Amino acid sequence: MAENNTLTLKNKQKTKLTGKKVWPYIFIAPFFIIYIAFNFYPLIDTFIISLYSWDGFGEKTFIGFENYRNIFTTDPYFLMSIKNTLIFMAGDIPVVLIGGILLAAVLNSKSLKGRTFFQTVAFLPYLTISVAIGVLFSLLFDWNQGTVNKILLQLGIIDKGINWLGDPKLARLTTIMMVCWKYIGYHMVFFNAGITGIDTELYEAADVDGAGAVTKFFKITIPLLRPTWEFLLVMNIIWGFQFFDEPKNLFSSWASTSGGTGVIGGPQRSCLTAIWNLYDTAFGTQMKYGKAAAEAYGLAIFICAFSIGTLMILKATRHDD
Amino acid sequence: MKARTVKKIILLIIMIIVAFICLFPFYTMIMMSTKVTEDIYKGIPLWPGNYLLENLKTVFNAHFEIYYKNSIIQAVSCTFLSLVISTLAGYAFAMYKFKGSKTLFSFILATMMIPTQLSLVAFIVEMRNIGWMNTLLPIIIPPAANGFGVYWMKNYIEGALPIELMDSGRIDGASEPQILTRIVLPVIKPALSSLGLMQFVSNWNSFLVPLIVLNKNEIYTVPIGIINLNSAYRNDLAAKIAALSLGTVPLLILYILTSKTFIKGITMGAVKG
């Protein structure tokens, strides 16, 4: 307010400075207004809902922390869905990160021709509409008619079709393969961009010292790509907990011409992800809004633990700045 | 000399295998779209059939163009809005020193850690209360405030834009918004292109929220339209797969249009971490 007075006085320089000070707040305002209205407010409201027993439409009954007690003790699916989500993350994150970095290294090798072609092809899965990915994999990995079993049979690798989507362990494996397929090219593009940014003189100097390709990869490429893989690792943990579209469509009845309803969470719910479970609790087969809200906050505990844990490990292992 | 050739061949073989794996499901989808349903499971679908036009006819009889129209409205407006919001905020955090900027930026980083799905239950209640059910608004406005976008633009602007450039604009008497539109905007095109493509892909794929808020055929987006083709065309699998291919086409076109600046944007943006 005091500044307003000086502003009206005379000092032109001062006017300009005040104007400058206001602009950044105006620039960030749209983000905060929308975020608070549609994310922050519902996030708080979700906590309040989690203390009630509510079907979303009728009377609310206050039950305190009963929903939380329920999901952590008696409900069979909440902790299972967290476990499944973590299994998927443990299965796919190393593959997409390590695979992505190796592919980028190959892609950047001087001896390789057709770089743009390979980059585009590897990026295609990311550009396939995610509904289609689940459906496509359910067709490819179908027990009786799927192309994968047919190829394996013809090659003589197996003598009986594998029930990819019917066995809990294999269903998880298929889901992990599906995620890797979708994201490995995406990671390759990021790592490739990072490698392009590395000074080629470093590699030339290493050549002079007689370093082999493997040494150069571990001593130059990996350390200098650290910002890229740190970024992708953290993003993968965030994305991993949100996993929903693809498994939901992998186990829907969409592709079966015989009909029947989709299985929730795949065989024995082995592929029920945390978000799928939340969705199912409130909007799928049950209408338990309070319980689903509690599941959201239960999941938040795991997300915070894993994100903060990862950030701390990354910080501790960083050598220079 | 000889070792070089061997290396060349090995690398090429690795990449061909990778390319094959990446392309195979995609190729299968296109091939299956050209067949009669009865033929889809006959052998391995390597060659195209001659039923593509019929399948497309079936899909458009189910009014697929409505889903297309809705999805384009939704994805284009949300992407545009999110680019504007992210650029404004990213620019502010990158180029201005203002009170609370550190705390506010930490808040934005924290929003990236909290998936929007966590507030889903109350979000749906909110949508019902403000009358946004069965409209495209829930998948246009809320996702436009995207922490990742702000972070992305801030990083890029910090790396690509010298502060002196802004100061020279100020000396010339340009207002702050003028500096942004005339000086900054032309420099950050690659970042806009890469962020724009990623946002468009995620908007086009938007699934969980529309699955709950859209319950009328006239307002379905492509993914929701596709999963609901099931009730009308349960037995026509080939037509349904043709719909999947159609749903992917806009993403391919967009990538072809933006691929050059997209790669450039990633190269200059993400590397700085």
- What does the pLDDT look like over B137-156, one tens digit per residue? 999 999 999 999 999 999 88
For residue B242, which of B221, B220, B226, B224 has the smallest C-alpha distance? B226
Closest-CA residue of A relative to B149 is A31
The answer for residues whose C-beta is within 8 angstroms of residue B59's C-beta and 6 or more apart is B229, B239, B242, B243, B246
The pTM of this model reads 0.89
In chain B, the residue whose alpha carbon lies closest to the alpha carbon of A131 is: B223
Instruction: Give the model's pLDDT for residue A4.
Output: 47
Residue B41 has pLDDT above 90, yes or no: no
Q: Which residues of B touch A107 (CB under 8 A)?
A: 15
Backbone angles phi, psi at B236, to 5 degrees: -100, 75
Burial of A278 (0-12, 13-18, 19+ CB in 10 A): buried
Identify the pLDDT of residue A28: 95
- In chain B, residues with a C-beta closer than 8 Å to the C-beta of A307 are 113
Q: Find the range with the poorest average confidence among A259-263, B1-5, B33-37, B106-110.
A: A259-263
> Please, which contacts does B80-83 make with residues 24 or more away whose CB atoms are closer than 8 Å?
B81/B140, B81/B141, B81/B144, B82/B143, B82/B144, B82/B145, B82/B146, B82/B149, B82/B199, B83/B149, B83/B192, B83/B195, B83/B196, B83/B199
Of B118, B227, B249, B268, which to mutate for an interface test with A (greatest number of A Cβ within 10 Å)?
B118
Q: Which helix (H) or strand (E) holds A62?
A: strand A61-62
Listed by number, the residues of chain B in 66-95 with a beta carbon closer than 8 Å to a beta carbon of chain A are: 84-86, 88-89, 91-93
Give tens-digit pLDDT for A122-153: 889 999 988 889 888 988 898 888 888 888 98
Of B70, B236, B31, B108, nearest in space to A147 by CA: B31
Q: What is the ipTM of this complex?
A: 0.90
The phi, psi pair for A165, rounded to 5°, reads: -95, 0
Percent of chain B with pLDDT over 90: 45
Decide which of B166 and B261 is more confident: B261
Residue appearing with tokens 């707040």: A25
Which of A28, A120, A231 lies at the smallest CB-CB distance from B273? A231
Confidence of residue A101 (pLDDT cuts 50, 70, 90): very high
Tell me how close the Cα of B184 comes to any Cα of chain A, in angstroms: 14
Residue range B153-194, pLDDT digits in tens: 998 898 887 777 777 777 777 888 888 888 888 889 889 999
Cβ of A254 within 8 Å of Cβ of B141? The answer is no
Assess whether pLDDT exceeds 60 at residue B215: yes
pLDDT at residue A261 above 60? Answer: no
C-alpha span between A221 and A50 (Å, rounded): 48
Contacts of A89 (CB under 8 A, 6+ apart): A236, A237, A240, A241
Q: Per-residue pLDDT tens for B77-136?
A: 999 999 999 999 999 999 888 899 999 999 999 998 889 999 999 999 999 999 999 999
Closest-CA residue in chain B for A122?
B22
Mutation site, B27, B121, B206, interface A, largest A CB count within 10 A: B121
- Counting one residue from A and one from B, how many pairs have CB atoms under 8 Å apart? 284
Which of B 179-238 lie inside 8 A of A, CB atoms?
A: 180, 201, 204-205, 207-208, 211-212, 222-223, 226-227, 230, 234-235, 237
- Greater confidence (B40 vs B188) lies with B188
Chain B (108-127) residues lying within 8 Å, Cβ to Cβ, of chain A = 108, 111-126
- Partners of B8 on chain A (C-beta within 8 Å) are 111-112
- Residue B191 CA to residue B199 CA, distance in Å, equals 12
Residue B88: its chain A contacts at CB < 8 A?
27-28, 30-31
The pLDDT-based confidence of A3 (bands split at 50, 70, 90) is very low
pLDDT in tens, A171-226: 999 999 999 999 999 999 889 888 887 888 888 888 888 888 888 888 888 888 89
Q: What is the pLDDT of residue A12?
A: 39
Q: Could you give the CA distance from residue B178 to residue B245 in angstroms, rounded to a whole number?
A: 43
Nearest to B91 by CA among B175, B174, B171, B181: B181
Q: Report which of A266, A244, A298 is spatially closest to residue A71, judged by C-alpha positions.
A: A298
Cβ neighbours around B204 below 10 Å, total: 25
Q: How confident is the model at residue B50 (pLDDT cuts 50, 70, 90)?
A: confident
DSSP percent split of chain A into helix, strand, coil, nearest 5: 70, 0, 25
